[in-house]
Amino acid sequence: MSSEEIMIDMDAARAMLGRQAILLPDAVPSHPLLDGKTEIGRGEYSIVIDKGDGEHVYKIVSSPADYFLYTADDRPRGPHFPIVFADHGVIGRAQSGYPFHLIEMERLYPLAEGSPAAELSRRLIECYWSACAQWSRLGADMGRIALYHLTVEPMKVGDSLQEALRALSDFVEEYQVLPDILNANNLMMRADGTLVFSDPVFIA
């Protein structure tokens, strides 16, 4: 899925939300579960390591928002959120000052071009960006309000995804984090084609 297909300048849109593309600069911490394993992904606040069994990955997270999303008792659950198998605790500290938490979770995959999940992602990003533009006068809060807007004016994305949006909006309000879904990299899929909010929040 490309920015041309969704008719949005994604770099400019993310810059407007203060979400320029940045990669976590830290090295992978030394840990018995990680030593000798292959890094397969990296984002602004996290590193993904292949566990080697084809089904699980280790995710090293430095953002409290991610840690809440993956481990809180009242975190969003359901088919459109990642399955977490274990919290292996703190394994170091990032340059940002936040602790590194090691999470074991299901392996997810990039959206396959032309797949139903990619089409859902495209539609979701379009609607979210349109709502952000509508509420741009609110500054940093526009993403939070835009997400809520999507829950009260349902899109044609199916009941389960609409319910996931409501759960995500409730989580954003409860934990005072901000949504980060204006990025196809934060929307992934399972091997069965289910769209998953893999990394949809951040702390301002």
Angle (nearest 5°) at CA 135 between 132 and 140: 75
* pLDDT band of 193, cuts 50, 70, 90: very high
Under 8 Å between Cβ of 46 and 66: yes
Q: What pLDDT is stored for residue 105 in this prediction?
A: 98
Q: Could you report the per-residue pLDDT of 121-132, keeping only the tens digit for each?
A: 988 988 898 888
C-alpha–C-alpha distance, residues 170 and 76, integer Å: 9
Q: Could you report the per-residue pLDDT of 68-94, keeping only the tens digit for each?
A: 999 999 999 999 999 999 999 999 999
Ordered by start, the domain boundaries in the chain are 3-18+111-202, 38-106
Task: Write the class of the CATH domain 38-106.
Answer: alpha beta
Q: What is the pTM of this model?
A: 0.86
